[in-house]
A = this chain, B = another copy of it.
């Protein structure tokens, strides 16, 4: 079998293919690397048609991490997709989904574990980064929290996936006028890999003071 084995060549050819095939020209320069990595994570160049954003999410994420604000992830897959060597040394993203208190909290609140897990972010959510790759109910709960005057994150990356609530929650984010930089993908498509790829696009090559 004949296949490309050089990791640098693979990356280069991948990104060249995306640049050639994807309609990147209507994205602001600061967002383009984010969009490219989201496409890279899913193999679909037509993802561009569904991407919506507000503000400069890359700078907002970078500034939040510079200030050592937490990165809150909705699930462990997102957390494990975040590349540690692009982050400040010793800096770890947070996922509260599997905290022991979450199942009981979810029952009390009559909601999903993914929504209840957001409650554990509250004390540190102001100015933090939120990355949702899987659960629409995480995003819905976060939006309700913010709209009720709760703490506001500095940036939201939101690509929950699937058939119930994914499209609706992302449309709600896009329509919410929260004045928080975000990037999302309308419709059913999304996923944890796409979410962590978007985050990684904002941190690659940065020097952290």
A113 contact set on B, CB distance < 8 A: 7
CB-defined contacts of A137 to chain B, threshold 8 Å: 3-5, 10
Asked whether B42 lies within 8 Å of A144 as measured between CB atoms, the reply is: no
Contact with B along A1-34 (1 / 0, CB 8 A): 1011111001001100110000000000000000
Nearest B residue to A116, CB-CB: B5
A152 at the interface (CB under 8 A from B): no
A112 to B143, CA, bound (A): 41
Binds B, one of A55-63, A120-128, A161-169, A199-207: A161-169
Contact status A164-B18, CB under 8 Å: no
A43 touches B190 (CB 8 A): yes
Asked whether A81 is an interface residue with its Cβ less than 8 Å from the other chain, the reply is yes
The reply to whether A193 and B161 form a contact with Cβ atoms under 8 Å apart is yes
The secondary-structure label for the interface of chain A is helix
- Closest approach, in angstroms, between the C-beta of A20 and any C-beta of chain B? 10
Copies in the complex: 2
Q: How far is the CA of A137 from the CA of B188 in the complex (A)?
A: 29
Given contacts A76-B80, A193-B77, contact A163 B43 (CB under 8 A): yes
Min CB gap A25→B, angstroms: 19
Q: Which residues of B contact A80 (CB under 8 A)?
A: 76-77, 79-80
Can you list 19 residue pairs at the A/B interface with Cβ under 8 Å?
Answer: A1-B144, A3-B137, A4-B137, A5-B111, A5-B115, A6-B112, A10-B164, A10-B165, A13-B164, A14-B162, A14-B164, A18-B163, A40-B162, A43-B162, A43-B187, A79-B80, A134-B193, A192-B192, A193-B193
- Give A contacts to B, CB under 8 Å: 1, 3-7, 10, 13-14, 17-18, 40-44, 76-77, 79-81, 106, 110-113, 115, 134, 136-137, 140, 143-144, 161-166, 168-169, 172, 187-193, 196
The 5 closest A-B pairs by CB, nearest first: A43-B188, A17-B163, A5-B111, A80-B80, A14-B163
